[in-house]
Amino acid sequence: MRLAPPSSVVALGLLAGCAAVPGLDDPRVDFAPYYAAYRLRGDTSRQSGSGGAVVSNPPIDARAFGLDERDDDYGGSLSLGDGFSGFDLHYYKLETKSVSTTPLPAAWGALDAGDFVRTEVKMDEWRLRYLARVFEHQTDGEVRARLGLGATLAHRDMDFDAVEVTGARRQALHIEDDGVVYAAARAEVGYHALALRGDYGFSRNWTFGGDWHGDLHDLELTANYAFEDQDLTVFAGYRRSELPARGRDSGQDFDADFVLDGFFVGARFGF
């Protein structure tokens, strides 16, 4: 389902200055850079032209493009809130290069079946999320449980570029969107300075337009340890993001069922 950009999206940003918004009655600013070891998996198909005719090709596993290793990437977030509720602006950049060790099992655009390829994938991801605490309970032993609900507006721009190793053939694919809306939820269990947190986002093709298409899932599991006297929290965790896409590029239909997953570690600084 495509959404017409409503004026309420602009109004959402203006709520950051309203003390009545959960998490913003006494807000703080947090900056959280992190290192990620992520891997792009899944499969993709793309039509080819043959003698003026268009041929639909079967999906090719990402491993045939050499995408089977985790790469070093970096990201970060800037948050305004109480540490649980509030606004969070997140940026992540994927960059991976590889040389395939197996031939392509089928054609992919201008590439032929049997080609060995060098592949480069780049993706910029922005996520603006708001979460409000809807439940909180703390025992006498200082074990606490919290639940938050909200929404995320995400934007992703991916370039998938594969070149036959001799340079004879090349095919690029560009995937982007005009904004994807996720329903978001957060659950946390903590004891003193230690907290285990789960963040989940789901979009059933709630988009303002673009190529990401279908059910999109995003899951993060994080362990946090806070040094309260220093306004410092260290964290480590796992993320899995499902990124199905479908569209038309340079007159050819394409389909992708990508999964981004891996581990991350970082630190959150409070101001």
User: Which structural domain, as residue segments, surrounds residue 221?
Assistant: 7-270
Q: What mean pLDDT is reported for the chain?
A: 91
- Residue 134 sits in a domain whose CATH number is 2.40.128
Flag whether 65 is in a domain: yes
Whole-number pLDDT of residue 220: 98
The amino acid that residue 99 corresponds to is: V
Whole-number pLDDT of residue 20: 67
Q: Which residues of the chain have pLDDT under 70?
A: 1-20, 50-51
Flag whether 29 is in a domain: yes
Mind listing the pLDDT tens digit for each residue in 201-247?
999 999 999 999 999 999 999 999 999 788 999 999 999 999 999 99
**Closest of 254, 224, 253, 218 to residue 237, by C-alpha:** 224
Flag whether 1 is in a domain: no
Flag whether 145 is in a domain: yes
Flag whether 228 is in a domain: yes
Both tokens of 54, joined, read: 């268009």
Whole-number pLDDT of residue 157: 97
* pTM for this entry: 0.89
Q: How far is CA 22 from the centre of its chain?
A: 25
Flag whether 93 is in a domain: yes
- Residue 44, exposed/middle/buried by CB under 10 A (0-12, 13-18, 19+)? buried
Total tally of structural domains belonging to the chain: 1
E strands in 100-142: 117-138
Flag whether 2 is in a domain: no
DSSP code of 93?
Answer: E
Flag whether 252 is in a domain: yes
Buried b vs exposed e over 233-256: b needs ≥16 C-beta within 10 Å? bebebebebbbbbebebeebebbb
Whether the CA torsion 262, 151, 214, 255 is positive or negative: it is negative
